[in-house]
Amino acid sequence: MAFDAEHPYVYSALERLTADQVAADSTRVGPKALFEDLRWQPPAGVRGLNNSFTTLYARTLIEDHPQWASAFELRRRRTP
């Protein structure tokens, strides 16, 4: 994803937010809620976060951290 390549710190911020929620014993982590947190405190240089990216980031977080898979509830993708 081009946006991620240009703004790798967004993924890092989402990763940190997820780790914080999991460490606080949250049983569910909402990708949209993570994005809303970032909108209130955006990483430097980020203007506007596209909601279309939320599921892509959530799937990447699960791929990189399989132990978090049960915390995310994802729907089946309609497009590849």
Annotate 15-77 with DSSP letters as a single string: HHHHHHHHHTT-S---HHHHHHHHHHSPPTT-----GGGHHHHHHHHHHH-GGGGGG---PPP
In a domain, 77, yes or no: no
Number of domains in the chain: 1
In a domain, 6, yes or no: no
In a domain, 76, yes or no: no
In a domain, 5, yes or no: no
In a domain, 53, yes or no: yes
Rounded CA separation 27/21 (Å): 9
In a domain, 22, yes or no: yes
pTM over cut 0.85:
no
pLDDT, tens digit (0-9, with 9 covering 90-100), for 23-78:
998 888 888 888 888 888 777 777 778 888 888 899 999 999 999 999 888 777 66
Q: Domain containing 58: what range?
A: 11-71
Q: Band of the pLDDT at 79, cuts 50, 70, 90?
A: low
